[in-house]
Amino acid sequence: MTSVSVITSPDDLVGAVSRDRRMMGYRVRRQGDGWIELEVVAQRTRVPVLLVLAWPEVWRDEEQLRPHLVRARSGNYGLILVGTDPELEAARMEAMSTDADMTAVAAPIGMVRLLLTLRTRAETITQRMTSAMIELELERSRHENDMLISIGRALSQERDIKSLLAIILRRACEVTNADAGSVYIVKNADEDVSKRVLRFEVSQNDSRTLPAGNMEMKVSSTSIVGQCVLSGTRINVPDLYALDEPGTGNNSWGFIHDRTFDDKNRYQTRSVLAVPMISARADVIGVIQLINKRAKGWIQLDLPGDFEAGVVPFDDVSEAYVSTLASQAGIALENVLLYEEVKTLFDGFVKAAVTAIESRDPTTSGHSERVAKLTIGLARAINHAETGRYREVRFTRDDLTQIEYAALLHDFGKVGVREHILVKAKKLYEHERELILQRFQLIKRGYKIEGLETKVRYLMEASRDAIAEQLSAIDRSLADRVTEVDDIIKFVLAANEPTVLEQGGFERIAEIARMTYRDEGDRAGPFLTAEEASSLQIRRGSLTEQERLEINSHVVHSFNFLCQIPWSRALRDVPVIAGAHHEKLDGTGYPKQLKGEEIPVGAKMMAIADIYDALTAKDRPYKKAMPAEKALDILASDVKRGQLDADLYEVFLNNRVWALTSVDR
Ligand SMILES: [Fe+2]
Ligand SMILES: [Fe+2]
């Protein structure tokens, strides 16, 4: 059977491969005179192992040898130089001293030695290729691992649902090279899956600009995402345009391809991969739907031909990537949904608490919400500031939430203030005012009685001629005294009105308080009691010192109340911020008389918002609504006095933050 036992020429080798059974594992190709390529048929590698034998007449020619040397540096190629020792010795050493896979056999060569050489070369090359592949595989899984860890990290840090879903979708498109995609959330945690609703939350399309928007649809088996929810498994449709009628052929799912979107946008939804996001409780809580896997890199899918040529089905690797991503995303999404649920619950509680406290004092209704709106508005304006002392301050989302809670609950401590003080509108309580007015009526009556008594005395004693003149003198004196009391009443009622700014001129109150009258039992009594006089002498607002202290104690109550709440790390400063909203930069505030930098910036912002709202609100007890310009002037004078932060006020003023609540009143 063996016809050639010694190979001396390329022809011998070609003949041996076709005739010698021992060469069955090789396929032969002539590469021109003197070059024989042998492809190793039985091998473990995906890429064929190629062995090239070169005879001296060709390998001595450097020009001819060079391309083979280059190829012999690649993984699957081995070069075997055939020649005698003297021929090989005469070869140029530069050609030999390369890193190419190269060996030499002396001609003539016996079949056994040739086969052994070929086998050794093939084995070496196969091993090298296998280890390179393992290395590549390792590198890929390392990369995959890194990618998934980085995705996992990004997902676990995101608490805003829209941003989270956008990250999930972007990463899913990246790892699969999908042209487009959407993420859906399953709404309604109904036991009956078919009663659940899918809400389209985010979408991405590299080839078309799509309008943003939300859309809801019933979970139905006729849609791919619906089926994905119902089955809880991933669905891979290679080409939606090649799908048979629902329920037949390759469309056993029963999908109905609604082409409205495609027609409207000159788009073709060809390959589709839908992967469910599953919660820890094994519920499908969302779906990642990817559309049109691009065959190569980033290509724009514009014309119909682009879809035909450029889109391929999602392969196993894509499925595996997206499934891993979806399982991570499912956990992250569930966390975010739970977080939102808890937040909604807590927000509801805060709102209810605010409503409860404001219902004790209807005149401050809406104050807390407006202060929160103004303070957050100011913080956001600072986030955009490019100049000024706060240009580098940036409040994170958590910071803003913290400030918002502090602002909403800043006056919650008013629960600890007695209601009659809380709603006190004038310097005197209503019953005090009534008492004073009745007293003055009594005084006037007393004067009248005194006048009548005097008249009677005269009538009894005086001569007839003098009577008329005397009586009219008594009437004049009486009228003067009654007028004086009426003036006093007017003055007292005017003094009872509270003022926003400090006011003096209360010496007359002291004078009035020193005046006395005689009551029915002829006992002397003061026009105004000491307490009444001191109330009427309140220089600003409507509260006495004692009452002011009680009102001021609300900040301490707010702080103590808020300390009871186990705030998360990100919100732990809520009590401190709320508890410092009445502190002033110059240390004249309360309750701790903090100064400058001792006051948290959130509290400094809130102080501006709080004063502004107190001044401009329609119905504060001690004053009427004030125009914005005047309120801003008052804030400016507080800034000038060193009580409010000048830079914050500037941002509040220049960014028209103050106008944010003008519609709320
Ligand atoms: Fe307050
Ligand atoms: Fe307040």
Tell whether 403 and 461 lie within a shared domain.
no
| Domain limit, last residue, from 541, 574, 591 | 541
**Ligand 2 centre and the CA of 606: distance in Å?**
9
Q: What is the reported pLDDT for 111?
A: 87
Is residue 141 in some structural domain? no
Distance CA(356)–CA(351), nearest Å, equals: 9
Instruction: Tell me the whole-structure pTM to 2 decimals.
Output: 0.63
**Ligand 2 centre and the CA of 574: distance in Å?**
15
What CATH number does the domain containing 264 carry? 3.30.450.40
Is residue 336 in some structural domain? no
Tell whether 277 and 308 lie within a shared domain.
yes
Residue type for position 581: H
Q: What is the reported pLDDT for 500?
A: 65
Q: What is the reported pLDDT for 1?
A: 41
Ligand nearest, relative to CA of residue 578: 1
Tokens of 474: 């008594």
- Expressed as residue numbers, the domain containing 453 is 430-541
Tell whether 524 and 571 lie within a shared domain.
no
Distance CA(565)–CA(240), nearest Å, equals: 54
Say whether 53 sits in a helix, a strand or coil.
Answer: strand
**Ligand 2 centre and the CA of 495: distance in Å?**
26
Q: What is the reported pLDDT for 94?
A: 61
Ligand nearest, relative to CA of residue 609: 2
**Ligand 1 centre and the CA of 637: distance in Å?**
20
**Ligand 2 centre and the CA of 368: distance in Å?**
6
What CATH number does the domain containing 415 carry? 1.10.3210.10
**Ligand 2 centre and the CA of 515: distance in Å?**
41
H helix count then E strand count, the chain: 23, 16
**Ligand 1 centre and the CA of 555: distance in Å?**
6
**Ligand 2 centre and the CA of 642: distance in Å?**
20
Tell whether 45 and 82 lie within a shared domain.
yes
Ligand nearest, relative to CA of residue 582: 1
**Ligand 2 centre and the CA of 388: distance in Å?**
27
**Ligand 2 centre and the CA of 467: distance in Å?**
67
**Ligand 1 centre and the CA of 585: distance in Å?**
16
What CATH number does the domain containing 75 carry? 3.40.50
Closest residue by Cα to residue 350 from 369, 326, 330: 369
Please, are residues 221 and 230 in contact by the beta-carbon 8 Å criterion?
A: yes
Tell whether 323 and 393 lie within a shared domain.
no
| Domain limit, last residue, from 510, 541, 572 | 541
Tell whether 122 and 202 lie within a shared domain.
no
Tell whether 323 and 382 lie within a shared domain.
no
Tell whether 406 and 553 lie within a shared domain.
yes
What DSSP designation does 110 have?
E
Tell whether 589 and 655 lie within a shared domain.
yes
Tell whether 17 and 105 lie within a shared domain.
yes
**Ligand 2 centre and the CA of 353: distance in Å?**
15
Residue type for position 70: V
Tell whether 411 and 450 lie within a shared domain.
no
**Ligand 1 centre and the CA of 581: distance in Å?**
7
Ligand nearest, relative to CA of residue 369: 2
Q: Give me the torsion for CA of 536, 541, 544, 545, rounded to 10°.
A: -140
Distance CA(246)–CA(488), nearest Å, equals: 95
Q: What is the reported pLDDT for 462?
A: 74
**Ligand 2 centre and the CA of 535: distance in Å?**
24
Q: Count up the domains in the chain and report the number.
A: 4
**Ligand 1 centre and the CA of 410: distance in Å?**
6
Is residue 153 in some structural domain? no
**Ligand 2 centre and the CA of 405: distance in Å?**
13
**Ligand 2 centre and the CA of 409: distance in Å?**
9
**Ligand 2 centre and the CA of 411: distance in Å?**
5
* Residue whose entry in the numeric block shows the structure tokens 């001569």: 463
Q: What is the reported pLDDT for 167?
A: 87
Q: What averages of pLDDT result for each successive group of 10 residues across the chain (665 residues)?
A: 70 86 86 86 78 89 84 85 85 66 86 89 88 85 80 80 87 90 84 79 87 79 89 92 85 84 90 92 90 86 87 91 87 86 90 88 86 96 92 93 95 89 87 92 90 86 77 89 93 85 77 88 88 88 89 94 92 96 95 94 97 83 75 95 95 93 70
| Domain limit, last residue, from 519, 541, 563 | 541
Is residue 342 in some structural domain? no
Q: What is the reported pLDDT for 189?
A: 67
Q: What is the reported pLDDT for 550?
A: 93
**Ligand 2 centre and the CA of 181: distance in Å?**
48
Is residue 347 in some structural domain? no
β 197-205/178-187 pair status? antiparallel
**Ligand 2 centre and the CA of 367: distance in Å?**
7
Is residue 143 in some structural domain? no
**Ligand 1 centre and the CA of 155: distance in Å?**
39
Tell whether 225 and 163 lie within a shared domain.
yes
Is residue 150 in some structural domain? no
Ligand nearest, relative to CA of residue 372: 2
Is residue 607 in some structural domain? yes
